[in-house]
């Protein structure tokens, strides 16, 4: 992970401000949202792919999404709302 990626991830933590997620869950969710595979996340975080899926399923439930694609969609829409608010 590059420094630029780390900065993006730290900025994207605000996507789920009202949802009670651990820092690890937020990190994993953001990595997934920006396009990392489950295998890449597992390698980066030093956990198994099952561990990544466990955390992603908790995130999915917390944001009220039925699918992981729904998590990406929710995150994308929230990012757009944040960007539009900043530009106003």
Give the separation between CA 29 and CA 57, rounded to whole angstroms. 10
Contact 42, 48 (CB under 8 A): yes
In terms of residue numbers, what domain contains 40? 3-87
How high is the pLDDT of residue 32? 92
The residue behind tokens 């956990």 is 47
* CATH at 60: 3.40.50.2300
Say what the pTM is.
0.75
- What is the CB neighbour count within 10 angstroms for residue 38? 18
18: left (phi over 0), alpha (psi -120 to 50) or beta: alpha
Q: What domain count does the chain have?
A: 1
pLDDT tens column, 60-74: 998 888 999 998 888
How high is the pLDDT of residue 9? 56
pLDDT tens column, 6-23: 555 556 666 766 678 888
Better-predicted residue by pLDDT, 58 or 81? 58
Structure tokens at 46: 């030093």
How high is the pLDDT of residue 24? 92
């Amino acid at each position: 992970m590059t420094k630029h990626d780390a900065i993006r991830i730290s900025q994207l933590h605000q996507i789920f401000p009202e949802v009670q997620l651990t820092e690890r869950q937020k990190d994993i969710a953001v990595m997934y949202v920006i396009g990392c595979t489950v295998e890449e996340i597992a390698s980066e975080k030093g956990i198994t792919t099952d561990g990544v899926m466990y955390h992603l399923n908790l995130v999915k439930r917390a944001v009220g999404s039925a699918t992981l694609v729904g998590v990406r969609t929710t995150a994308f829409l929230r990012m757009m709302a944040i960007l539009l608010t900043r530009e106003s």
